Amino acid sequence: MNRLTILGATGSIGVSTLEVVARHPDRFEVIALTGHRRIDLLEAQCRQFSPRYAVVVGATEASRLTHALRGHKTEVLFGPEALADVAALPEVDTVMAAIVGAAGLQPTLAAVRAGKKVLLANKEALVMAGGLFMAEVRRSGAVLLPIDSEHNAVFQSLPSGKILGAGVERFLLTASGGPFRTASLERMASVTPDEACAHPQWVMGRKISVDSATMMNKGLEVIEARWLFDMPAERIDVVIHPQSIIHSLVQYVDGSVLAQMGNPDMRTPIAHALAWPERIASGVAPLDLFQVAQLNFERPDLTRFPCLALAYQALSMGGNAATLLNAANEVAVAAFLSGELTFLRIAEVIQSVLETVPSAPLMTLEDVLAADTLARRLAQEQLS
């Protein structure tokens, strides 16, 4: 029996994880679930899976959930310390790290430091603190498995137990291109949050949907791949693939290219990582190549999608740059979703922060958090 903590249970990844878990009650036991503000959904999840603990953001939410679950065995906790605690519980084997954004860094690190099998859906942990994070993985002996469909596809396309020492030439991370793949800059200047969140292939939360529309999500994935697989940025390419059938490819020095394919459904990489090194049913329909009929590929247009170029720039700058990039992006996307910022100005805010803050090394977690705080303040100043 594999005992689980799911950080971010009420988000799209958390919900999909519980769908896979429900298919295999003989294999998985849910020990802890965490959620932000979707208390009704977290209550329903607690009633279905009966975790020992449920963690919410604050005392008000905790009181509401406690009242809703009166008579139920689940103990309700709240706050950042409780998140870290349930990520490191001795009785937990596997932690799904699916809290969106910088908020997921510290509980994910707690799971790593406790030596857990960590299923990483929170790419921001590696974007913000890549070198420090991977040093903790090596020190603790934690098992780190990627959940992003692109990184999971790369992982599946690599030789078992090997990465760069097996003739690997480069990675090709695929991207759908989002809802504005063929839109003009004039059209993109006036898009609404609802339009930006209408992804043509994937069902995701609003923040990550906007990141996909700006292609910042792909930029963050390039940074994640650099740390996760110790691959230099110049050997990581992005390929627009509108069908989202090929999830990524690995090119070898002998000319071979291995690709992982499947229908666009996050339950596939989730099931792969949950059961690794075995395979279990995910509930995803088999791929019908006759129905797909054709696969298309394009180069990304960095003029229309400058956020992708900014991510590569942050990687080349090193030090605190990726932390600054992520924080400024979170502020800018939140402002766009609330109607305070136009779509095209998201990249402008990020670029301004990168140009304002001098490059500096990240030696400790405190350095990471300080850079994150500074970037958020500067991005907020850009808005006003």
How are the residues of the chain apportioned to helix, strand and coil, as percentages rounded to the nearest 5?
50, 15, 35
Q: What is the share, in percent, of the chain residues with pLDDT greater than 70? A: 98
Domain ranges of the chain: 2-146, 148-177+215-300
Q: Name the packing angle between helices 80-87 and 105-113 (round to 10°).
A: 30
Q: Which stretches of 99-215 are DSSP H helices?
A: 105-113, 124-140, 149-157, 185-188, 193-196, 206-214
- Collapse the DSSP code of 247 into the 3-class scheme (helix H, G, I; strand E, B; otherwise coil) and give the result: strand
Confidence of residue 277 (pLDDT cuts 50, 70, 90): very high
pLDDT at 118: 98
pLDDT by residue (tens digit) across 330-346? 999 999 999 999 999 99
For the chain, what is the total number of helices (H) and then of strands (E)? Answer: 17, 11
What are the beta bridge partners of residue 32?
Answer: 5, 53
pLDDT at 164: 60
Number of Cβ within 10 Å of residue 330's Cβ equals 22
CATH architecture of 2-146: 3-Layer(aba) Sandwich (3.40)
Q: What are the two backbone dihedrals, phi and then psi, of residue 221, each rounded to the nearest 5 degrees?
A: -70, -35
What are the beta bridge partners of residue 29?
Answer: 3
Give the pair of three-digit tokens for residue 310.
Answer: 């900014």
CA nearest to 65, candidates 95, 89, 44, 87: 44
pLDDT by residue (tens digit) across 122-173? 988 999 999 999 999 999 999 999 999 999 999 999 987 555 667 899 999 9
Contact (CB, 8 A) for 204 and 216: no
Distance (Å, whole) CA 84 – CA 87: 5
Q: Considering the entire predicted model, what is its pTM?
A: 0.93
Number of Cβ within 10 Å of residue 292's Cβ equals 12
